[in-house]
Amino acid sequence: MLPVGPEMDNVDDSDPISKDIYVIADAGRDVLVSYVRGVIEGVYVQMLVDSGSSVSLMSADFRMSVPTLRNRPLKKDYVSARAVNGQMLDTLGTLTVTFQLGSESWQHVFHVLRETTQTVLLGWDFLLKNHALMDLSHAKLQLWDISVPLLTSKYLIPMCCNVSLATAMNLPPLSESVVAVKVCSPNAAHVASDFVGYLEPNVADSSGLVVAHTVATVHNGLTKARILNPTGQDISLRQGMHLGEFYSVDDSDVQLFHDPADITTATISSVAPPVSLDESPISESERAALSALLSEFNGIFSSSKRNSGRLMVDAAPVTPPATPTPTPTPVTIRDAPRVKGAKIKPTNAVIPPAAPITEPDRLPAVAL
C-alpha cells in the first residue's frame, strides 16, 4: 500500500533477519485472506497483514470510534505517504497502541491515516521486527513462537452495519425512489466487498420518510434502498442521513421458491358409518321418535349413497306475509257558533289517551 519509507532504505537485503519473512502460498486455499483478528482497547478488529506497506496504519475513523484512542493525543510525526496508484495519503500523526494478537500483547506505533479503506494495517515495520511468517498452507501467521490463525473471507462480513444516504436529494410528494446508500460498520471496521444482507428500516417518525424492508447485495460498501414520500410536501434528504441497519445473511437464511406450494385437498368419504337404528342402544320410544324425524327430513338424512348427507335448499323466493298497518282515523270537532254565554257541546267526542276502551265498537262519552 505504501512504498518503502526513508527508514527502510538502510535495510540490507543480505541481512539474515530480513529473510525471516516468508509467504508460503497455496492456491487451493483461496478462501483465506491476509487478515488476523486482534483486540484494541477491548474492541475486536480485523487487521490486514501487508508486507508491501513500509509502516503500520490505523484509520482515523476507527480511532474516533474508540473513546480511549480518541482522547489520546497524536504525536506530530508525519510521513510522505503514497498509495499504490501514486495518490498522496493524508497522515495525521502517530499513535502508540497496545493490542492483543493471539495469546500475547504487543505495543506498536501506528500512523493515523484519513480516508483509508483499512481499519488497521500491520506493515513491514511490525512484521520485520517480530520475525513474521505467513503460512497459508496451515492458515496461520507466525510471530516468534506465537501462532495467530488467519481469517477467511466470511469473517470480514459484519453482523450489523449502519445504512446512510450516499447523496443528498429532494423527494417529491407522493413518490418513491430507489437510491444508493452506504453500508459501513459501526466501529469503522473494514468490511467485505461483496455480501448479502437485510435492510431493517430505522428512521425518525418526524422525517415523514418510509423505507422499505429489502434484501440486497452490498458491493464495495454500496447498495440500493427503496424510499417513499407519502406526504403532500417535498422531503429534503441530506447526505449521510441514517436510514436503518443492515444485517448480513448467508445462504441458509435466503430461500427461493420457484415451484408453487403443494396443496393437499381432503376428500370426504361418502360411505355411511356402520350405524343403524336397530343396533343402537336406545329405547323403543326414542327409536320411534328418531325414525319419524329421519322420515320427515329424508332430503337431508338419506340412506342412498348418491345423495348421502346432502342438504336440499329450496331456491324459491319466500314472500313474507303482508301485515296490515292500521290507519288512524282523525277525530275532528265541528265548528260551532260562538255565542256569548252559550255552552258549546260538540257532536264528536275526543278520547283522551288514558281513557280505557271496554268495548271495541262503543266509545265512552266525554263531556266538555
Cβ contacts of 352 within 8 Å, gap of 6 or more: 366
Whether residues 65 and 151 share a domain: the answer is yes
Whether residues 150 and 190 share a domain: the answer is no
Say if pTM beats, i.e. exceeds, 0.85. Answer: no
Residue 30 confidence (pLDDT): 44
Whether residues 185 and 144 share a domain: the answer is no
* Mean pLDDT of all residues in 163-173: 92
Whether residues 152 and 10 share a domain: the answer is yes
Residue 308 lies in a domain: no
Tell whether the model's pLDDT for residue 65 goes beyond 90. Answer: no
Residue 59 lies in a domain: yes
Residue 291 lies in a domain: no
Whether residues 11 and 149 share a domain: the answer is yes
Residue 165 confidence (pLDDT): 93
CATH number, residue 184: 2.70.40.10
Whether residues 134 and 202 share a domain: the answer is no
Lowest mean pLDDT among 40-54, 145-159, 224-238: 145-159
C-alpha 94/C-alpha 79 separation (Å) is 10
C-alpha 329/C-alpha 286 separation (Å) is 56
C-alpha 347/C-alpha 209 separation (Å) is 83
Tell whether the model's pLDDT for residue 9 goes beyond 80. Answer: no
Whether residues 107 and 239 share a domain: the answer is no
Q: Which domain holds residue 34?
A: 6-156
Residue 314 confidence (pLDDT): 53
Residue 232 lies in a domain: yes
Residue 323 confidence (pLDDT): 63
- Residue-wise pLDDT tens digits, 247-302: 888 766 666 655 555 555 555 555 455 556 677 778 888 888 877 877 776 666 55
- Residue-wise pLDDT tens digits, 68-125: 999 999 988 877 777 777 777 788 899 999 999 988 999 999 999 887 778 899 999 9
Q: What is the DSSP string of 204-258?
A: -GGG--EE--EEEEEETTEEEEEEEE-SSS-EEE-TT-EEEEEEE--TTT-----
Whether residues 135 and 234 share a domain: the answer is no
What's the number of domains the chain is made of? 2
Residue 345 lies in a domain: no
Whether residues 134 and 174 share a domain: the answer is no
Question: Where among 138, 156, 174 does a domain terminate?
Answer: 156
